[in-house]
């Protein structure tokens, strides 16, 4: 396996592969470092294709000394060609990477599977997280399957669907009065106080690596080709940047050829610190207090925001913010053209795709991949407004009043 150390993203200082997430020298974030110098593309491709039907087929690129296993293996979710959506927007080739097809119906299954496997490898017997909902579902489910204790901390005003879909697994669910940033501060303190494996705090460098598997799958499912453009939601910025890193890793060892895709980020206007920094030309994201229906993206102080800015700017991309009304419209647009029902984060992403098309930024020959990160059944309140059901008597006459019979079409 290629994993070598934890390395500071700012100063390059290296640390052992332990439960650590911040550099002692400069307080920069740590990430996993690898050495791929001995890799041969043809051998690696054979190992991938002979691997499991989930993320462990990419074990060569994940932070373990041996191939892990888990009771719930996420990954290899559908990549759906969305011709009707592309036609409606007046663009070329659009693909939807539907990560709602994971075990707990969001991309968080990927990062949790990696973090939990690392927690067990490091000897932890309790896992925990700070979450806006999807991560809560995943941590509770994967901990239950592994038979270890879990604690899940969420804002107390989270959508009921996500709370119920977390508590059912038997976790200790704790609602915190405040927003996600308040929850995250508390969990950072608890990680030191209790010595638990907080997947997105002291295990964050490993946890974040799970997002790279979305890039790997995209390349495989496109026939070992890169997309021209990527549209992806931004909360902390980790998903956005790790997809970029996944593409870069496979380019570096020759598994795929071509330029890095143009990266377009998507945020909600009610919590868009990265979009604001991009629009204003800033290098640092000013923290904001979230106020949006897209609660899974409601991180007002995004840890990887500066790196998301670098990726968007470095690839000639953009970062947009869309209103709550545009989010609702994005959910309906995706559903009505593809048959896929996404949560509010996917509404943000689809609405951003529509903005890019309207501005003419997507070329007729561009291959665009849009990342949908969660299932619409988790955020039903977002589509309650405007919902209509026609009620009739159980008679032909009653139905005919609602839908008059049309004259037959003649040749």
Q: Above 70 in pLDDT, residue 144?
A: yes
Question: Would 3 be classed as within a structural domain?
Answer: no
Question: Would 174 be classed as within a structural domain?
Answer: yes
DSSP class per residue in 217-243: HHHHHTTS---SEEEEE-SSSHHHHHH
Question: Would 199 be classed as within a structural domain?
Answer: yes
Compute CA 219 distance to the chain's CA centroid, rounded to the nearest angstrom.
17
Q: How confident is the model at residue 153 (pLDDT cuts 50, 70, 90)?
A: very high
Rounded Cα gap, residues 249 and 319, in angstroms: 23
Q: Of the candidates 174, 209, 244, which is a domain's last residue?
A: 209
Q: What is the CATH number of the domain that holds 201?
A: 3.40.50.1100
Q: Of the candidates 209, 224, 252, which is a domain's last residue?
A: 209
**pLDDT tens-digit readout, 169-196:** 999 999 999 998 899 999 999 999 999 9
**pLDDT tens-digit readout, 256-283:** 999 999 999 999 999 999 999 999 999 8
**pLDDT tens-digit readout, 357-368:** 999 999 899 999
Question: Would 329 be classed as within a structural domain?
Answer: yes
My answer on whether 186 and 303 are in the same domain is: no
My answer on whether 332 and 225 are in the same domain is: yes
149-155 vs 126-130, strand pairing mode: parallel
My answer on whether 358 and 248 are in the same domain is: yes
Question: Would 314 be classed as within a structural domain?
Answer: yes
My answer on whether 132 and 168 are in the same domain is: yes
| Per-residue burial over 25-55, b = 16 or more CB atoms within 10 Å of its CB, e = otherwise | eeebbbbbbbeeeebeeeebbeebeeeeebb
My answer on whether 243 and 188 are in the same domain is: no
Rounded Cα gap, residues 320 and 271, in angstroms: 11
Question: Would 55 be classed as within a structural domain?
Answer: no
The residue among 63, 96, 23 whose CA lies nearest residue 353 is 96
> Quick one: what percent of the chain has pLDDT higher than 90?
90
Average pLDDT over residues 215-237: 98
My answer on whether 84 and 136 are in the same domain is: no
Q: Of the candidates 209, 244, 274, which is a domain's last residue?
A: 209
Rounded Cα gap, residues 307 and 396, in angstroms: 61
My answer on whether 235 and 298 are in the same domain is: yes
Rounded Cα gap, residues 307 and 297, in angstroms: 17
Task: Report the domain count for the chain.
Answer: 2
My answer on whether 197 and 224 are in the same domain is: no
Rounded Cα gap, residues 360 and 82, in angstroms: 18
> Quick one: what percent of the chain has pLDDT higher than 70?
99
The residue among 179, 183, 141 whose CA lies nearest residue 162 is 141
Domain range holding 221?
79-105+211-383
Indicate the helix (H) or strand (E) that contains 320. Answer: strand 318-322
Q: Which tokens is 261 given? A: 């895709």
My answer on whether 178 and 241 are in the same domain is: no
> Where does residue 391 fall: left (phi above 0), alpha (psi -120 to 50 degrees), or beta otherwise?
beta
Size of the chain in residues: 411
**pLDDT tens-digit readout, 25-44:** 999 999 999 999 999 999 99
Cα distances from 330 to residues 46, 301, 327, 344, 356, in angstroms, run 39, 25, 5, 9, 13
How high is the pLDDT of residue 162?
Answer: 87
My answer on whether 173 and 301 are in the same domain is: no
Question: Would 409 be classed as within a structural domain?
Answer: no
Question: Would 269 be classed as within a structural domain?
Answer: yes
Rounded Cα gap, residues 320 and 353, in angstroms: 10
My answer on whether 98 and 119 are in the same domain is: no
Q: Read off the pTM.
A: 0.94
């Amino acid at each position: 396996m290629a994993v070598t150390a934890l390395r500071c993203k700012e100063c390059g200082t290296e640390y052992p592969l332990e439960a650590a997430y911040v550099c002692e020298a400069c307080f920069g974030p740590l990430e996993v470092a690898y050495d791929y110098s001995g890799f041969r593309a043809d051998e690696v491709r054979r190992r991938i294709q002979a691997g499991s039907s989930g993320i462990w087929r990419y074990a060569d690129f994940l932070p373990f000394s041996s191939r892990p296993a888990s009771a719930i293996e996420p990954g290899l979710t559908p990549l759906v060609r969305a011709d009707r959506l592309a036609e409606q927007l007046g663009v070329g080739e659009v693909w939807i990477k539907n990560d709602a097809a994971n075990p707990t119906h969001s991309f968080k299954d990927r990062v949790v599977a990696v973090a939990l496997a690392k927690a067990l490898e490091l000897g932890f017997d309790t896992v925990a997280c700070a979450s806006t909902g999807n991560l809560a579902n995943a941590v509770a489910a994967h901990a239950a399957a592994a038979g270890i204790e879990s604690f899940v901390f969420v804002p107390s005003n989270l959508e009921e669907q996500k709370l119920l879909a977390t508590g059912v697994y038997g976790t200790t669910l704790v609602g915190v009065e405040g927003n996600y940033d308040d929850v995250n501060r508390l969990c950072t303190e608890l990680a030191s106080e209790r010595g638990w494996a907080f997947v997105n705090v002291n295990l964050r460098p490993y946890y974040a690596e799970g997002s790279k598997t979305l890039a790997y799958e995209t390349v495989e499912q496109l026939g070992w080709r890169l997309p021209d453009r990527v549209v992806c939601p931004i909360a902390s910025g980790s998903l956005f940047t790790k997809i970029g890193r996944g593409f870069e890793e496979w380019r570096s060892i020759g598994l795929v050829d071509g330029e890095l895709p143009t990266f377009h980020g998507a945020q909600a206007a009610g919590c868009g610190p990265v979009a604001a920094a991009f629009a204003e030309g800033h290098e640092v994201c000013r923290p904001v207090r979230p106020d949006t229906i897209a609660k899974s993206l409601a991180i007002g102080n995004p840890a990887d925001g500066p790196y998301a800015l670098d990726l968007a700017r470095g690839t000639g991309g953009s970062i947009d913010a869309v209103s709550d009304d545009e989010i609702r419209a994005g959910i309906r647009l995706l559903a009505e053209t593809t048959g896929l029902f996404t949560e509010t984060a996917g509404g943000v992403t689809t609405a951003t795709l529509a903005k890019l098309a309207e501005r003419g930024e997507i070329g007729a020959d561009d291959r665009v991949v849009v990342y949908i990160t969660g299932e619409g059944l988790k955020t039903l309140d977002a589509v309650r407004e405007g919902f209509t059901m026609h009620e009739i008597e159980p008679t032909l006459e009653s139905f005919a009043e609602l839908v008059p019979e049309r004259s037959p079409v003649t040749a």
